[in-house]
Chain A
Amino acid sequence: MRLKKTNWSRDGGWTFVEAMLSVVIMSIMVLGLTIVLMAFREHLDRSWSIRVMDQYGNDVIERLTHELRNAVDVSVRNSYGNTQEIIISYLDPNYLDRTYKHRWRADLHTNQIKVDNAPIDPFFPPRKPGRGESYQILQFTLTKFGVLTPNPDENREAHFRNQAFLNATYDIRFKVRYNRNAINPGERNWSYEKEYSNRVYLRNKNLPIRNRVD
């Protein structure tokens, strides 16, 4: 059988048209791939930064929840911005008629949560952020059940509960924003806010042991 020889497969090298066509196709491919990879890299950078924020947010919530569970009392006062100072009292394990306190607050200058003026995580915000990147604490509050909630039924529910419950049930809310400002012409500022929350019932506040420190 005689092989049909096409114009595209000759042994004598490429014609000018073939060479130009291949250059055009390869250019389009490289350009497309570059755009996709740059977009994907931006996507990954944002994603990584949000994970860092998640890690910190969850860490703050877990640690505060743990401390509140062991507390015998808590007092809250307003601080800068939409943040509060949370003063938590514990029973001293060695002297059960004494208490000691921890003071939680949001430092809006360094954008860190501090306990007795020491940051709970010295590596947040990251020490070497990218150009235009920053984190911002928007909210750090401890409110009674039903006062500050995205679910309206909880607000209604609070009106039916007694004081013993309301004085011991608290909602923690911690909101952080990640900013990614434009650096190059044609870029746009981008930011992402996320709220972390949890609820704690202060068991020790309604236990007989509480009477020992009053």
Chain B
Amino acid sequence: MSVKFKKWRQDEGGIDFIQLIVGLMIISIAAVGTLQALYYGYDQLDFQMRYRKAISIARSHVEYIQGRLHSDYSDKRFSDLQFTAGNLNNPDIKLLDQRDPSRDYDDIYCEVSHGPMVPVNLPDTKGDDYWPISVYVRWSEPGENDVVPIHMVHFAARMVPAGF
């Protein structure tokens, strides 16, 4: 048995100053770790809210596309042909999250785009049956500096043409 261990066994109670300091350091480290975990959880809640908002923006854009295909579309209009070709390379920029104005946080914007839309004509029917729609919303979280935003929501839908 080592000398140190013998000495510990003979100790009859009480703590010395070194033990107190070590104990306090351990408590401090544990407290910092716990608080960091709580802040991380709070950030995750924020992220989930933005994710939900992104879904809402995607759905709003789908509604816009459905409305246009249904009531404001002509295959003889150049702007409509451009519209159905999609804007994956030239997305719209929209407000995603207006952050706490009392703090020095920047608002978060997202890129909204839709893929090319080609009408589907089912074999047993006459004329176009429906348009498949794909909408993408991309954004960066605070502190992320990627050139291409890494967070994305993809929303798929269909729309029947007018007079269907």
Residues of A within 8 A of B (CB): 1, 3, 8-11, 13-14, 18, 21-22, 25-26, 29, 33, 36, 40, 43, 47, 51, 54, 58, 61, 145, 150-151, 153, 160-162, 164-165, 168-169, 171, 190, 192-195, 197-201, 203, 206
Contact assessment for B64 and A169 in the assembled complex, using a CB-CB cutoff below 8 Å: yes
Ordered by A's residue number, 22 sampled pairs between the chains whose C-beta atoms are within 8 Å are: A3-B3, A3-B7, A8-B17, A9-B16, A9-B18, A11-B11, A13-B14, A25-B20, A25-B21, A47-B45, A151-B92, A151-B94, A160-B79, A161-B68, A169-B63, A197-B60, A199-B63, A199-B64, A201-B67, A201-B70, A203-B66, A206-B70
Contact assessment for A164 and B71 in the assembled complex, using a CB-CB cutoff below 8 Å: yes
Minimal Cβ-Cβ distance residue in A for B163: A208
Complex CA–CA separation, A113 to B72 (angstroms): 33
* Given A201-B70, A206-B162, 17 further pairs, Cβ under 8 A: A1-B3, A8-B17, A21-B17, A26-B24, A36-B35, A58-B52, A150-B94, A151-B94, A160-B79, A165-B67, A165-B72, A169-B67, A194-B98, A198-B56, A199-B61, A201-B67, A203-B66
Complex CA–CA separation, A1 to B4 (angstroms): 11
Contacts of B121 in A (CB 8 A): none
Contacts of A199 in B (CB 8 A): 59-61, 63-64
- Would you give the shortest CB distance from A198 to chain B, in whole angstroms? 6
Residue from A14, A22, A47, A203 within 8 A of B42 (CB atoms): A47
Complex CA–CA separation, A14 to B3 (angstroms): 23
Contacts of A171 in B (CB 8 A): 60
| A54-B49 CB under 8 A given contacts A197-B60, A199-B63, A201-B70 | yes
Complex CA–CA separation, A29 to B27 (angstroms): 10
Contact assessment for A14 and B17 in the assembled complex, using a CB-CB cutoff below 8 Å: yes
Contacts of B81 in A (CB 8 A): none
Contact assessment for B17 and A18 in the assembled complex, using a CB-CB cutoff below 8 Å: yes
Complex CA–CA separation, A188 to B11 (angstroms): 53
Kindly state whether residue B144 has any CB partner on chain A within 8 Å: no
Contact assessment for A43 and B42 in the assembled complex, using a CB-CB cutoff below 8 Å: yes
Residue from A22, A40, A192 within 8 A of B35 (CB atoms): A40
Contacts of B49 in A (CB 8 A): 54
9 residue pairs, one from A and one from B, having the closest CB atoms:
A199-B60, A201-B67, A165-B72, A164-B71, A201-B63, A169-B67, A8-B17, A199-B63, A9-B16
Most chain A C-beta atoms within 10 Å of own C-beta, residue among B7, B11, B72, B94 = B72
Minimal Cβ-Cβ distance residue in B for A203: B70
Within 8 A of A (CB), among B78-110: 79, 92-95, 98, 100-102
Contact assessment for A151 and B79 in the assembled complex, using a CB-CB cutoff below 8 Å: no
Contact assessment for B71 and A168 in the assembled complex, using a CB-CB cutoff below 8 Å: yes
| A150-B95 CB under 8 A given contacts A18-B17, A145-B64, A197-B60 | yes
Contacts of A145 in B (CB 8 A): 64, 67
Contact assessment for A153 and B17 in the assembled complex, using a CB-CB cutoff below 8 Å: no
- Would you give the shortest CB distance from A200 to chain B, in whole angstroms? 6
Minimal Cβ-Cβ distance residue in A for B164: A207
Complex CA–CA separation, A46 to B115 (angstroms): 40
